[in-house]
Amino acid sequence: MAKTILHLRAETKPLEARAALTPTTVKKLLATGNFEIFVEKSSQSTFSISEYEEAGAIIVPEGSWVTAPRNRIIIGLKELPEEDFPLVHEHIQFAHCYKHQAGWEDVLSRFPKGNGVLYDLEFLENDKGRRVAAFGFYAGFAGAALGLQDWSFKQLHSDSENLPGVTPYPNEDLLIADVQKDLNKAVAKAGRKPRVLIIGALGRCGSGAIELCQKAGIPDSNIIRWDMAETARGGPFHEIIEADVFVNCIYLSKPIPPFVNYETLNDSNRKLRTIVDVSADTTNPYNPVPVYTIATVFNDPTVVVETTKGPKVSVISIDHLPSLLPREASEFFSHDLLPSLLQLPQRHSAPVWTRAKALFDKHVASLNKSKL
């Protein structure tokens, strides 16, 4: 049987240092004898090209996937650069075009135009309908870290200043040390530790946010854990503005009353200073935190909410938060993805891949014919 050929493309999104395949995963796939793997040189990956070389990958130039033979499966994480040439390969990636996000038709139509296929990582599911791999834990972990840093910054600086840019950390311990250092200074001035309210606390993302808070030294009594039972009565929730930091760890695909809105934020007694919207899906019409309109970035992580009452409040809405810890997040994700990758040689019959292909076909069928 011919080998399945994977081609890991270099990420191009600014400050995206994660990788869909790690050297560890490459080595395990190659050990089966069923794969051949090409890895592009990358100017921003947390993994060095020598690590991939030692794992047995064939190293190729950055961006060479575009002209690669059609029998290669192109794998990456974040969306492709905004171009309009047809896509002729099978692609595995997060494409962000199945929920009718802004520009979704332009993104999706490139695949049928070139007879390409999209296996969207967000929708690779097991037989129970649960995602086979997700970055949720580290999204919550990193989001909570930045939320605590922003709260700390506000205790020590004037309202005219915003939290400075951040860059990826080599490991979790260094991030926690920075958060603790900032917190200690802020607590010395404020006289207390912040209260953090987390919605979606029972999920992967919420568990990451909780763990970061605990490791940073926030007492359990200051970590308010909410999930479906607590939000069932419908928002907005006054409890959110009584917390210092609010971390939203859920994505909604149907309308519900917002968790917080401009009316609740315009309260002279509001304690809330920082909102971390981990989903950061600004174009989602069902966004339960409808108080901002832009996704923020690591080098400018906050956007100020325009309020008329109460202290300054900011939103962190970075859509690739796990990139703050790219090595650990990549290893975590790719470890969970590995069992599905091992089934790629049988992708025309393996349920995890046939479901993803059927979903792709369904969304392509919904495209306006003018886009094809």
What CA–CA distance (Å, rounded) separates 30 from 156? 52
Query: To which residue do tokens 């979606």 refer?
Result: 200
- Residue 371 is a catalytic residue: no
Q: Taking the CB of residue 351, how many other CB atoms lie within 10 A of it?
A: 12
Output the DSSP codes for 288-340. S--S--S-BBTTB--EE---SSSS--EEE-BTTGGGGSHHHHHHHHHHHHHHH
Whether the CB-CB separation of 96 and 251 falls below 8 Å is answered with no
Cis upstream peptide for 61 (omega within 30°): no
Whether the CB-CB separation of 6 and 21 falls below 8 Å is answered with yes
Catalytic residue among 78, 91, 154, 193, which?
78
Strands 314-316 and 303-304: antiparallel
Work out the burial of residue 97: count CB atoms within 10 Å of its CB; fewer than 13 is exposed, 13-18 middle, 19 or more buried: buried
Catalytic residue among 13, 96, 154, 363, which?
96
Strands 35-40 and 58-60: parallel
Whether the CB-CB separation of 241 and 286 falls below 8 Å is answered with no
- Residue 3 is a catalytic residue: no
What CA–CA distance (Å, rounded) separates 92 from 80? 11
Query: To which residue do tokens 């947390």 refer?
Result: 46
End-to-end Cα distance, the chain: 35
Rg (CA), the chain: 22
Phi and psi torsions of 45, nearest 5°: -70, 145
Query: Which positions are annotated as active-site residues?
Result: 78, 96
